[in-house]
Structure 1
Amino acid sequence: MPKLKQGTIVPTQEEDEAINHGIAADQDTCELGAADFKQMKKIGPPTGDVPQEKPHIPH
């Protein structure tokens, strides 16, 4: 687990269970697993291989 900032409030076991119950009850969301986060890390900011276009700002 990463080092937490001072003042971080960690939910109690009861609060965590309520959060997970809310996630399970909402059909439009899901809890992400380790594999999901691992895949998300692969998708990141451009690596420099693709040139970025400058935005056109009309005067």
Structure 2
Amino acid sequence: MKISSIKNLTSRFIKEDKGLAAIEYAVMGFLLIAAITAAVGPLQGSLVTAFTNVGTEIEAATAD
């Protein structure tokens, strides 16, 4: 692909409103993922503890 055709595609993408909407959706998606990651982060310790406890109980039940 030639550089001139890349420039044409880029300029058309910038001029079109659809291109702007796509960028806005990408930014909103990124912010949503960042918010979910921030919300789940504090729960990590309690989730690890819960799964460790379940694993310990399963080992104890199957050891008999």
Same fold, TM exceeding 0.5? no
Give the TM-score normalised by the residue count of structure 1. Answer: 0.28
Give the TM-score normalised by the residue count of structure 2. Answer: 0.27
Q: Which has the higher contact order (CA 8 A, sep 6+)?
A: 1
- From the two aligned structures, give the one with the greater helix fraction: 2
